[in-house]
Amino acid sequence: MIEIDPISLLVTADTDLSVATLEDKVAAEGYTLNYFALPDNRALLAEALSRRLPNLYAAAFGGIEDLCLQLKLAQAGGALYANVKTPRSAAGPGLKKMAIGSGEWLGLPIQATLRIFPKPAHRECRAYAFAQERDLEAFEKSLLKLRWPLPLRARLASEEAMQVLEGMSLLDRAAAFSWWGPESWMRSYGEALEDLALGKQGRALGFKSGRDETDLDALLRRAAIAQAEERSERRLQELPESHRALASFLKEGA
């Protein structure tokens, strides 16, 4: 069951849905959860709530305990509990936040009401590779010092993308970032990020606009292909001249 309230910007859903499925459902109506349950967003909503799975976008939107407005729990004796969808009127610990992350100790989450946000019209993802791991760390520290609300760390989405990075020996020296907002400042934001990365010995692996971080898979594959072609050309130039023409002919034929 999924009910979207476009006035209050809330969605109520049963917790047997995966977070990714719920995101797709609200995205079809022009909204987003701004919640990506690490590591792969495939967890059921019940698991995300009971384990308090971290949010990739927590720096800007908080965790699941902040985005969940109401939680319905089924307790061992069969009783149901649900907090009200209004601001708290008393001090002290809130049962909803105590239940989220309790490992079902206070009850099994069976339904949740989450905040939703209008889906941004413009969004970009960009990935960078750095000469050394310490350069990546310096870049991330510089971002923290600037206190930009964005960009947010984006996930290099699939296992295939991670294999590409491993093949490029970049697994510990690459990072991806995502940001969104009005088109008027998207470009200047990207240029500022690029300048900061270059100042820390970083190089862009390319970029691709899109709704989610899975778009980075194609980007990384293209980067790997370009690097392989560059390596092949370099080896070709190292061959004796008598062998170079034959190698070029075979390469073109392939």
Pick the more confident residue, 165 or 5: 5
> Do 109 and 178 have their domain in common?
no
> Do 6 and 95 have their domain in common?
yes
17, 48 Cβ separation under 8 angstroms: no
> Do 112 and 6 have their domain in common?
yes
> Among residues 118, 141, 156, which one ends one of the domains?
118
pLDDT digits (tens, 9 = 90+) for 93-107: 677 888 888 887 878
Q: Of 109-118, 208-217, 233-242, which range is least confident?
A: 208-217
> Do 111 and 206 have their domain in common?
no
Please state the three-class secondary structure of 35-63 as a single string: CCECCCCCCEHHHHHHHCCCECCHHHHCC
Q: Which CATH number fits the domain that encloses residue 99? A: 3.30.465.10
Confidence at residue 114, expressed as pLDDT on a 0 to 100 scale: 95
Confidence at residue 105, expressed as pLDDT on a 0 to 100 scale: 81
- Dihedral angle over CA of 211, 212, 217, 220, nearest 10: 80
> Do 137 and 202 have their domain in common?
yes
- For tokens 């594959």, name the residue: 221
Q: How far apart are the first and last CA of the chain?
A: 54
Pick the more confident residue, 198 or 92: 198
pLDDT digits (tens, 9 = 90+) for 130-187: 888 888 889 888 888 887 766 676 665 555 555 556 656 666 677 777 777 777 777 7
Q: Of 1-5, 92-96, 147-151, 223-227, which range is least confident?
A: 223-227
Mean pLDDT score of the chain: 78
What is the rounded CA–CA span in Å between residue 149 and residue 134? 23
Kindly state the helix (H) or strand (E) to which residue 95 belongs, with its residue range: helix 95-99
Kindly state the helix (H) or strand (E) to which residue 108 belongs, with its residue range: strand 108-115
Kindly state the helix (H) or strand (E) to which residue 246 belongs, with its residue range: helix 241-253
Q: Which CATH number fits the domain that encloses residue 143? A: 3.30.70.3400
Q: What is the rounded average pLDDT of the residues 55-83?
A: 86
Instruction: Identify the domain containing residue 203 by its residue range.
Output: 123-232
What is the rounded CA–CA span in Å between residue 215 and residue 213? 5
